[in-house]
Structure 1
Amino acid sequence: MGFSIGNAALRLVSGAFILNSGIGKLHLEQEHAAGLQAAAARVIPPAGTLEPDKFGKLLSASEIGIGTLILLPFVPTRLAGLVLGMFSGGLVATYLKSPGMTKEDGILPTPAGTAMAKDFWLAGIAVALFFRRRRQ
């Protein structure tokens, strides 16, 4: 298992971004938590059964855990890519299923959807990490 500056860079930018997002959600207002919960419930219906405050805390803890896992250098890169892929897949699905986020084609973002469409870069990083070429 060798060190790769390319993998380290991908893990640093994605892990730090997700970790920061989770830390920013530590003290969500109930209205904001409820909005995030409604979006998540479009993809994962059981998420809608929680109290918004509890959902917000679970979301924050999940993002902190995922961001930390991606940043830890002793976590295998393929595992980090897999976890990032599952996380980013949920974000992309939320974007695609949220009304008003995409144009009529169902892919290109509307002005309101641009902020969510950026989550595709996390999916791209996940693919790069998971399918990276092993050194021999």
Structure 2
Amino acid sequence: MRLPLRARTLPGRVTTGGYLLHSGLEHWNGGEEQAEGLHTMASNAFPFLKSIPARRFLRLLSAAEIATGTALLAPVVPPALAGAALTGFSGGMLALYARTPAFRKPGSIWPSQAGLGVSKDVWMLGIGLDLLAGAVADRRKH
């Protein structure tokens, strides 16, 4: 059986997958204060999230991180699928960044100190898009 994994995708998949899996596991048992803080931040950017209780929101975020991290780390998951998962997850995080004015310097796309952590998700978007582009290029070769 030939695995769909390519050596060139390993650095991005392992580092990003490990980071997301760890973050998801940390969030899974996060406390009430953490749940409230993340829920408030997300609800301010996406008002439809206000109807979800804070603890449930934290569990959903955690599950998304765990699923995305696992997809990146699992060698049986094709690069296109792992890339799509990562692109979707990081796109959501960057939308949060874009919709939260306090995360950016006034009149700029560049991060404020408060937005530095979320703005770094742009690298995850790049890795996800690279996985997708590589999968398309591989299909064209065959």
Mark yes or no: TM-score above 0.5. Answer: yes
Q: Which residue number in structure 2 is paired with residue 79 of structure 1?
A: 81
Percent identity over the alignment?
A: 34
For the Cα contact (< 8 Å) 2:5–2:79, is it kept in 1? no
Q: Figure out how many residues of one structure are paired with residues of the other and give that number.
A: 136
Normalising by structure 1, what TM-score? 0.90
The structure 1 residue matched to 2:6, chosen from 4, 20, 42, is 4
The structure 1 residue matched to 2:59, chosen from 51, 57, 60, is 57
Following the alignment from structure 2 to structure 1, what is the Cα–Cα distance between the partners of residues 44 and 77?
Answer: 31
Q: Which residue number in structure 2 is paired with residue 46 of structure 1?
A: 48
Q: Which residue number in structure 2 is paired with residue 94 of structure 1?
A: 96
The structure 2 residue matched to 1:115, chosen from 88, 100, 117, is 117
Aligned pairs for 1:12-23 within 5 A: 12-23=14-25
The one-letter code sitting in structure 1 at the alignment partner of 2:28 is L
Following the alignment from structure 1 to structure 2, what is the Cα–Cα distance between the partners of residues 59 and 36?
Answer: 9
What is the RMSD computed on CA atoms of the aligned residues?
1.7
Normalising by structure 2, what TM-score? 0.86
Q: Which runs of 5+ in 1 are unaligned?
A: none
For the Cα contact (< 8 Å) 2:83–2:129, is it kept in 1? yes
Q: Which runs of 5+ in 2 are unaligned?
A: none
**CA shift for structure 1 position 59:** 1.5
